[in-house]
């Protein structure tokens, strides 16, 4: 633990560096924060903080900047998260009130709102169920020998697959098959459908087999579709002025590598999400080199029927942690409210 004076000094250094993006000199701390001590005393205390690894001196004649260890101490012991102002909360709730009642739309909007409010990258995954549950299925005639199987799962996810028919079936016949299968399986999981061991005629069996394959493929995904917003704004931060650093980060945040950049499985795993739980991954704590100039603030959210998702913000290690943690926690609560109202 740091002494009270060093804690106060570390808080000042972090806050000032977040504000200015410039190394913080002892004289600047005294002048800006009106401390009742001399610059020499502050220099001595800063030297102790440096010796203990909480701040570093990037250049010989420069002031100090927080280290990853300093940011970690700040996040765990010093920052003072506050709820977003009432006017901001009202605006955000109005935006969600106007959105379509679809879980994917909520996730996309949450990412856009966070990116706009924080000017960092925001990535939000749509809610995903570890166990899918069939809400309904439809069969639509496409051609004499081709039908489209449409599954609607309880989390409003829609899956589709074309089926090849052994003989032509009219739309009326397809609708009758769909009605029969819905009467048997609507509201059931994959395991429950398999356990029923129902015998079906040729085409019915084909439709059930295809539906189970689609549901199992969805269950195999570790998280729902991810929506990313705000990359351009974050890349304007001075930390990413070097082209090679920017390109490496852009590559890692691309859709094919996104799960390497952001630990969705850690936030939206098999365990129930705890409301308001927020995790920060700071700089060198991340295993990917391209992410070690960044910090991630991530929170799970959950809903009925085992739905899980994650809300995350990526910014430079010099991010405004207090504001970011507060906004991520608030948005996680909004998503949980929406899911509870829709599926509860």
Tell me the three state secondary structure of residue 293. coil
Q: Which ranges of the chain does DSSP label H, i.e. alpha helix?
A: 4-20, 26-33, 39-51, 68-73, 86-98, 103-118, 171-185, 190-196, 202-220, 231-234, 243-252, 258-261, 264-267, 321-343
Show pLDDT as tens, one digit a residue, over the chain (344 residues): 899 989 999 999 999 999 999 999 888 888 877 777 788 888 899 999 999 999 999 876 678 999 999 999 999 999 988 889 999 999 999 999 887 677 889 999 999 999 999 999 999 998 887 788 899 999 999 988 999 999 998 766 789 999 999 999 999 999 999 999 999 999 999 999 999 988 898 899 999 999 999 999 888 776 788 999 999 888 888 888 777 778 888 888 876 778 888 887 666 544 444 556 899 999 999 999 989 999 999 999 987 767 888 999 999 999 999 999 999 999 999 999 988 887 76
Residue 132's pLDDT is: 85
Residues 51, 258 contacting (CB under 8 angstroms): no
String of b and e for 83-116 (b: at least 16 CB within 10 Å)? Answer: ebeeeeeeebeeebeeeeeebbebbbbbbbbbbe
On the 0-12 / 13-18 / 19+ scale of CB atoms within 10 A, 186 is: middle
Calculate the alpha carbon distances from 275 to 33, 204, 306, 330 in Å. Answer: 36, 42, 14, 10
Distance in angstroms (rounded) separating the CA atoms of residues 149 and 208 = 10
Calculate the alpha carbon distances from 192 to 56, 184, 197, 198, 242 in Å. Answer: 58, 11, 9, 11, 55
DSSP 130: S
Phi/psi at 302 (5° precision):
-145, 170
Which one, of 126, 208, 210, lies nearest residue 160 by Cα? 210
**DSSP count for the chain of H helices, then E strands:** 14, 11
Distance in angstroms (rounded) separating the CA atoms of residues 101 and 341 = 11
- Displacement of CA 337 from its chain's centroid (Å): 16
> Which residues lie below 8 Å from residue 262, measured CB to CB, with a gap of 6+?
123, 226, 296, 298, 310, 312, 314
Calculate the alpha carbon distances from 171 to 143, 163, 184, 264 in Å. Answer: 10, 14, 20, 42
Structural domains of the chain in order of their starting residue, each with its CATH number:
4-78 (1.10.10.10), 86-127+224-343 (3.30.450.40), 134-220 (3.30.390)
- Displacement of CA 174 from its chain's centroid (Å): 40
What's this model's pTM, rounded to 2 decimal places?
Answer: 0.80
Task: Write out the two tokens for 60.
Answer: 């010989």
């Amino acid at each position: 633990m740091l002494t009270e004076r060093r804690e106060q000094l570390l808080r000042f250094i972090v806050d000032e560096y977040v504000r200015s993006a410039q190394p913080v000199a002892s004289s600047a701390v005294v002048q800006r924060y009106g401390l009742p001590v001399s610059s020499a005393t502050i220099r001595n205390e800063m030297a102790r903080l440096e010796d203990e690894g909480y701040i570093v001196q990037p250049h010989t004649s420069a002031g100090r900047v927080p280290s990853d260890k300093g940011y970690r101490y700040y996040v765990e012991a010093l920052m003072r998260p506050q709820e977003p102002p009432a006017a901001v909360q009202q605006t955000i709730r109005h935006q969600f009130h106007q959105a379509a009642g679809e879980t994917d739309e909520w996730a996309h909007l949450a990412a856009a709102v966070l990116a706009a409010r924080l000017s960092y990258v925001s990535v939000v995954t749509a809610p995903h169920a570890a166990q899918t549950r069939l809400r309904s299925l439809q069969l639509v005639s496409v051609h004499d020998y081709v039908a489209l199987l449409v599954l609607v799962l309880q989390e409003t996810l829609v899956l589709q697959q074309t089926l090849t028919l052994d003989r032509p079936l009219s739309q009326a016949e397809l609708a009758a098959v769909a009605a029969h299968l819905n009467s048997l399986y609507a509201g059931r999981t994959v395991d429950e459908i398999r356990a029923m061991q129902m015998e079906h005629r040729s085409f019915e069996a084909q439709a059930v087999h295809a539906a189970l394959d689609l549901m199992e493929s969805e269950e195999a995904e570790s998280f729902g579709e991810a929506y990313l917003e705000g990359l351009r704004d974050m890349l304007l931060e001075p930390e990413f002025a070097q082209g090679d650093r920017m390109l490496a980060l852009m590559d890692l945040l691309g859709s094919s590598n996104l799960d390497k950049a952001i630990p969705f499985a850690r936030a939206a795993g098999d365990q129930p999400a705890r409301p308001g739980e927020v995790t920060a991954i700071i700089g060198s704590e991340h295993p990917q080199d391209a992410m070690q100039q960044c910090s991630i603030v991530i929170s799970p959210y959950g809903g009925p029927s085992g739905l899980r998702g994650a809300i995350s913000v990526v910014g430079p290690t010099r991010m405004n942690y207090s504001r970011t943690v507060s906004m991520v926690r608030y948005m996680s609560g909004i998503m949980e409210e929406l899911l509870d109202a829709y599926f509860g």
